[in-house]
Amino acid sequence: MFLLGLTGSIGMGKSTTAKMFEDEGCALWDADAAVHRLYGAGGAAVEKIGKLFPDAVADGAVSTAKLREIIAKDETALKTIEGIVHPLVGQDRVEFLNNTKADIIVLDIPLLFETGGEGKVDAVVCVLTDDETQKERVMARGVMTETQFELIRSKQLPAATKAERADYVINTDTMDQAREQVRNVVRDIREKLQNA
């Protein structure tokens, strides 16, 4: 079993690239999807976040829009929320790994380097595109303001730094180019596994 950490800043094409790895027969664990489960009705984070930030919970689920508002107003809130959510996300990942049989497991973790997660994987792949494309992609989603986007981007390591620290880099300017690079990464890892 080979653990491949997949990272990249917001709007770089990470989710699309993750799907490409799945298409190549890799198992995929998605940190954002885990957070979504934890925040959903009955999720393990709802009660804990509700105790500290009652305004963030509506209809038995955590509202990410409300969390963004809280974080924008209170600079200590993010650390508090992360202190609740990160251990729960780690638990979710362990359960996934214990129940997966694939030869390559892709762990889609946006903040892999920021949280020191690179030490827990066998290699890291970083997705990358230019700043203009990144911003266009995020704004096209229509879920956050330019100010919110800039705040998120400022809290992430610069994309170039992530790329320098990664074992593999996938450029997502075009999907065909990205797909070919994904295939090359998978081929390289499978060759290493066969020769191990």
Tens of pLDDT, residues 146-164: 888 888 888 788 888 999 9
Tens of pLDDT, residues 22-56: 999 999 999 889 999 999 999 999 999 999 999 99
Q: Residues 177, 133: contact at Cβ < 8 Å?
A: no
**Structural class in CATH, domain 31-101:** alpha beta
Q: What pLDDT sits at residue 165?
A: 95
Residue with the bigger pLDDT between 64 and 196: it is: 64
Q: Residues 179, 20: contact at Cβ < 8 Å?
A: yes
The helix (run of H) or strand (run of E) holding residue 62 is strand 61-62
Looking at the chain, the domain(s) classified CATH 3.40.50.300 span 1-26+103-196, 31-101
pLDDT, average across residues 61-75: 90
Tokens 């996300």 — which residue?
89
Q: What pLDDT sits at residue 68?
A: 86
**Which residues contact residue 159 at a Cβ distance below 8 angstroms, ignoring those fewer than 6 apart?**
8, 9, 12, 126, 128, 131, 134
Instruction: Tell me the whole-structure pTM to 2 decimals.
Output: 0.84
Tokens 């809290």 — which residue?
155
Tens of pLDDT, residues 71-118: 889 989 989 999 999 899 999 999 999 999 999 999 999 888 988 889
Residue 10 has pLDDT above 90, yes or no: no
Of 3.40.50.300, 3.40.605.10, 2.40.50.140, 3.20.20.70, the CATH number of 1-26+103-196 is: 3.40.50.300
Q: How far apart are CA 25 and CA 91, in angstroms?
A: 24
Query: Which amino acid appears at position 130 of this protein?
Result: D
CB atoms within 10 A of CB 176: 8
Q: Between helices 131-141 and 146-155, what is the axis angle to 10°?
A: 130
CB atoms within 10 A of CB 98: 7
